Structure formats: C-alpha cells, structure tokens
Amino acid sequence: MEAREKNSILVTGGRGFIGRALVKLIQRKGYSVVSLDRVPVADAAETGGEEIHLDLTDVAQLRGVLEHQRIRKIVHLAAILPTAAQRNPVRATEVNVQGSLHLLELAREFNVRRFVFGSSLSVYGTYPADQTVSEDDRAAPEDLYGAAKLYVEQLGQSYRECHGLEFVSLRVGRVVGPGAQSVSSPWRSEIFELLKADYRAEISLPYRASENLLLLHVEDLAVMLLSLVQASSLTYTVYNAPCKSVVVEDLKRVVENLNANITVRLGDGTPAGNPQMLDASRFQSEFHFESVSIFDRLRKAAGK
C-alpha cells in the first residue's frame, strides 16, 4: 500500500448511519480517522479508530480536538434530522447551523485543507415530478433541515472565497441500507433487514405506487464522500449525489418477490420537499462513478 500522510480525517456524526459506513471505508483504505459524535461509544476497539464523544455546540471541546489531532480534512455529517428539527427548532439551529459555523471557523484557524459537507437534496424543495433537477436549478428548501443545509453551503462558500478553505458540498437523497435505525422512515432499513425473515412481516412505505423516490445505498454514499476527500482537486463546490430513481410500485414488487413472507403496504403520500428526478452528471463525469442498482443491492441482501 502506498504511504499515506500522517494527518487524520475528521468525521463528525461518525456513529450515525452514514458516518459508520464512511469510517469503516476510510479505515479499509488505510487512512487514520477521528470520529466525533454526541452518541458515546462503549468500546473504542469496536471500530478500531479514535472515537470522541462530543457535542458540536461545545466549542471548547471541539477546539481541543483540533489542537491535539493533526486534521487535514473534515467530513461533516453531524446534524439534527428533519423530524427532530421540526420538534425542536432551537436545538436544530444550535447544532445544524451554529455547530457547523464553529467547525468551519476552527477549520480555518487550524489550517484544515478540505471541508466536505454532507448536504441534502432537500435544499431544492419540491419540484414537478417530471422535472430533472441539476445543481444549477434554484434552491428553495421547505423545512428547517433543508434551510440549514443551504445556509451552511453559503457559509462554506464564504470560507472558501475569504480564507481559501476547500469547501465542497454533496447533496444527498434518501439513504437506504441495513442499520439505519430511522424512527420516521424505518422502511429504509427494513427493505434490506427483513429479506431473510422466516416469519410474516409488514413494511409500511408511505407513498403512492406511482411516485418516484431518489434512493442511495449507504455504501455507495460512503464511496462518494471518500472520493471528495481523496481528489487532488475539485472542479465544483456543489455536487448532486448520484441516486437511483425508483418507482414505489416497482420497489414493492421486488421486495415482495424476494421474500413471500413480506408485505409492503403503500400509503397515499408524495415525496414532498425533494425532487423526484435528478441530474448527477457533474459528479458522475468527474469521478467516473456509477452506483449499484438498488434492486441489485436488494437481491444480494436476499442471497439471490
């Protein structure tokens, strides 16, 4: 293996669904990683990396990490998620906006080279179902979570222009895969975790059969984030993460066909607050990336 620089990659939200997948991938590639999360870890040996229990709103503790660690690149994933943000807007603003500002300012102060921000397709808001959305289309978030993501993108652009910090944002769709532990959208994990069930199980998918969902497997997302970390240079400051557009009816059919014990119950909702069709050619062409089909991922998880 080629020699790596001794500096570490800092991952915020490292105990989260996406963070865990990214930290494991970084370690497999031979890099040193420091994982921050407000969720404590019982045993640091669990991941093999350095885990720090920390809240982003604690500036003094955050500063201590950058003082004692040689951090050259940051992947910022920590956030209060949409449902929780609506319930507690004060806490969401403290973490999603103020915490991000603390991190950007410390990145400037400690000469961090690159700052990769895990943004969201929710910055776009709702678009007509047949309109393909690119990075050049207008951003009009409809909730606190999306508004905070867009504001942090603007903050990052300012730090890039004023201080030379290599800020880059990856706008992410609905992330699926085993282990998501989502309270508001448990189906994102259940469609994978229940595929080998030998008992009757029901999955509730709250959308109409005809709706399109932009889905992204967590392992593909980890590869995308690491690509942004590793790149010698970046052409753009904002990228749409390549997602697979999946028709809800097709998703229901594939899951039920893979395991006759599973019934997928559909609702009458629409995927508001996000586009349903996406142009991710900017990322795909620059990084020569093509994600694996969600249906192929499901077949593999089912052992077929």
Closest CA to 191 of 164, 213, 168, 165: 213
Catalytic (active site) residue 145: yes
Q: Estimate to the nearest angstrom the gap between the alpha carbon of 263 and the chain centroid.
A: 28
Q: Are residues 17 and 157 in the same domain?
A: yes
Distance CA 188, CA 185 (A): 6
Report helix, strand or coil for 178.
coil
141 phi and psi, to 5 degrees? -60, 150
CATH number of domain containing 184: 3.90.25
* Residue at 281 is within a domain: no
Query: How many whole angstroms separate alpha carbon 239 and alpha carbon 207?
Result: 27
Q: What is the CATH number of the domain that holds 229?
A: 3.40.50.720
Is there a single domain that holds both residue 73 and residue 130? yes
Residue 219: the pLDDT is 96
- In sequence order, the 6+-apart residues with CB closer than 8 A to the CB of 58 are none
Active-site residue, from 124, 145, 159, 207: 145
Do 79 and 228 belong together in one domain?
Answer: yes
The helix/strand/coil state of 101 is: helix
Domain identity same for 102 and 232: yes
Q: What is the value of pTM for the model shown? A: 0.94
CB atoms within 10 A of CB 189: 19
How far is CA 180 from its chain centroid? 11
Give me the tens of pLDDT residue by residue for the chain, a chain 304 residues long.
333 346 799 999 999 999 999 999 999 999 999 999 998 765 544 545 689 999 999 999 999 999 999 999 999 999 999 999 999 999 999 999 999 999 999 999 999 999 999 999 999 999 998 899 999 999 999 999 999 999 999 999 999 999 999 999 999 999 999 998 888 899 999 999 999 999 999 999 999 999 999 999 999 999 999 999 999 999 999 999 999 899 999 999 999 999 999 999 999 999 889 999 999 999 999 999 988 899 999 999 999 8
Residue 80 belongs to a domain? yes
Segments forming the whole domain that contains residue 263: 176-214+243-274+292-301
Rounded CA gap, 265 and 262, in Å?
10
Residues in the chain: 304
Distance of CA 279 to the CA centre of its chain: 18
CA 105 to each of CA 44, 77, 115, 163, 211: distance values in angstroms, whole numbers, following the listed order: 28, 16, 11, 10, 41
Residue type, 262: I
Confirm whether 250 is domain-assigned: yes
Report the alpha-carbon distance of residue 216 to residue 244 in Å, rounded: 6
CA separation for the pair 122, 171 (Å, rounded): 8
Give me the number of domains the chain comprises. Answer: 2
